[in-house]
Amino acid sequence: MQYRRFGKLDWKVSALGFGAMRLPTTDGKAANIDQEKVDEMIHTAVDGGVNYFDTAYVYHDQKSEASLGKALKGGYRERVRIADKSPVWLIKEAGDFDRFLDESLTRLQDEAIDFYLLHSLNNDHWTKIKELGLLRRAEKAKADGRIRHIGFSFHDNRDTFKRIVDGYDGWDFCQIQYNYMDVDFQAGTEGLRYANSKGLAVVIMESLRGGKLAADLPATRPLWESSAKKRTPADWAFHWLWNQPEVAVTLSGMSTLEQVKQNIAAANESGIGSLSEAELAMFPQARELLEALSPIPCTACEYCLPCPNGVAIPRNFAVYNEAAMYNDLAGSRNQYKYWIPDDQKAARCIQCEECLSKCPQHIQISTWMPVVEEVLGLGHDFVSSI
C-alpha cells in the first residue's frame, strides 16, 4: 500500500480509503447488511494496508456504523482510523450534536472517533452551525476525548466552500466530491487546491461518480484502449486522483470482496506525478466525449438564476444529462428523487419564460423542464431532443 500526507497532521493515510456506504446486503435492503461478507471485506482491506474507514450516522438506514464496529473487532480497530459524520440536517437544537455523537460511539462500540465531520455542508447548514454554536460543541467533544479531529464534508458551490474553509481555524480536514468529470463542479480542482493550501487534508468522495466512471462506457472505451498502459476505467479514474499531491485519500464505496482486492492492487501502484503527459491528456478527452452526449447544452453558467419559482435549473439539467452520458437512467431518477429538493425540482416550473432571454446557449428551458419532470420524476421514456 502507498501512503500519503494527511494535511498538517503527523500521520500517513493509505491512498485508498474504505467508504462504508455501499456495503453488501442480504436482500437488497440497505438496513440488512451481510455482516459475514463485510467482515471478510474489511479484514482483507486492513490486511492489505487500508487504514482509513469512513462511515456516517445515516448510512445504510443507520446500520453502517454498527457493522463497521463489529468488523473491526479482534485487533483490527487498533490498526486503522475511523471517520464518522454528524447529521447536521437532523440537528434542531445544540444538544442534538452530543446526542448524535454519543449514539454513533455506542453503535461503533468505541470510546473515540478519530475524524469527525459535519456532514454535507452547504450554505444553509453552515448558517445553522454558526447559529447553534455547533463548532463549540465539537471543540468540547474534542477536549473530552470523544473525537480527535474536526472536519466537514461538502455539497455546494465553490464560493461557499471557500467561505466554510476560512470560517473556522480548527478544521483539520474536509471531504469533497471530486473526479475527472467534476473538475468544475462544487469545490472542484480550485477548491481542492485552496483547502490544501490552508493545511487541510482533502478526502475524496465520489471518486467514480457513484460507480459511473467504473463502467465500460462505449464513448470512452477506445480512448482507454489506445493507451500503452492497460487499466480498467475504474483504475484510470483512481490514478487520475492519486496523481495529484493535494489529494490525501480517495474513498471507494466497495460492495464486494473482488472490488476490495482490485482497488488495493491499484492503490499499490499509485503515486503523485506517476501519470505521463500522454496519459493525463486522456482525461480532458474523456470528459469531452461524455459531455458531448448531453442532450441539453447547459454549461451551468447560472445566468438563468434565480428562478422566480425556485427551480434549480442547471442542477435539473445536469442530472438529466447524466442519464445519457453514463447510460444510467435509473441512477439519474434516483438523484432526482433524493438529491434535488422538491421545491427546486423541474416540476415547479410554470413556463413563465423569464429565463429564456437570459440563457447564453438559447436553451428552451421552459420546454425542457416538463420533459425533465416526466422522464426523471414520472418515469416516462427518455427524450434526447425536443
Report how far residue 94's alpha carbon sits from residue 204's, in angstroms, rounded to the nearest whole number. 29
The residues pairing with 18 across neighbouring beta strands, listed in sequence order, are 53, 252
User: What confidence score (pLDDT) does residue 300 get?
Assistant: 85
* Separation of alpha carbons 226 and 100, rounded Å: 50
The residue behind cell 488495493 is: 264
State the residue for C-alpha cell 483539520. Answer: 172
- Predicted pLDDT at 360: 87
- Where exactly are the structural domains of the chain? 3-283, 293-377
Find how far residue 205's CA is from the centre of its chain: 4
Characterize the bridge pairing of strands 12-14 and 3-5: antiparallel
Assign 305 to helix, strand or coil: coil
pLDDT digits (tens, 9 = 90+) for 206-232: 999 988 999 999 999 999 999 999 999
What pLDDT was estimated at residue 301?
Answer: 86
Second CATH level (architecture) for the domain 3-283: Alpha-Beta Barrel (3.20)
Please report, as a single letter, which amino acid is at residue 60. Answer: H
In which residue ranges of the chain is pLDDT below 70?
none
Q: What is the pLDDT of residues 271-293, one digit of tens each?
A: 999 999 999 999 999 999 999 99
Sign of CA dihedral 108, 110, 114, 115: positive
- pTM for this prediction: 0.90
The C-alpha atoms of residue 291 and residue 87 are separated, in whole angstroms, by 33
Residue with cell 486503522: 80
pLDDT digits (tens, 9 = 90+) for 27-86: 999 999 999 999 999 999 999 999 999 999 999 999 999 999 999 999 999 999 999 999
- Would you give the distance in Å from CA 293 to the centre of its chain? 23
Distance CA(336)–CA(338), nearest Å, equals: 6
The helix/strand count (H/E) of the chain reads as 16, 10
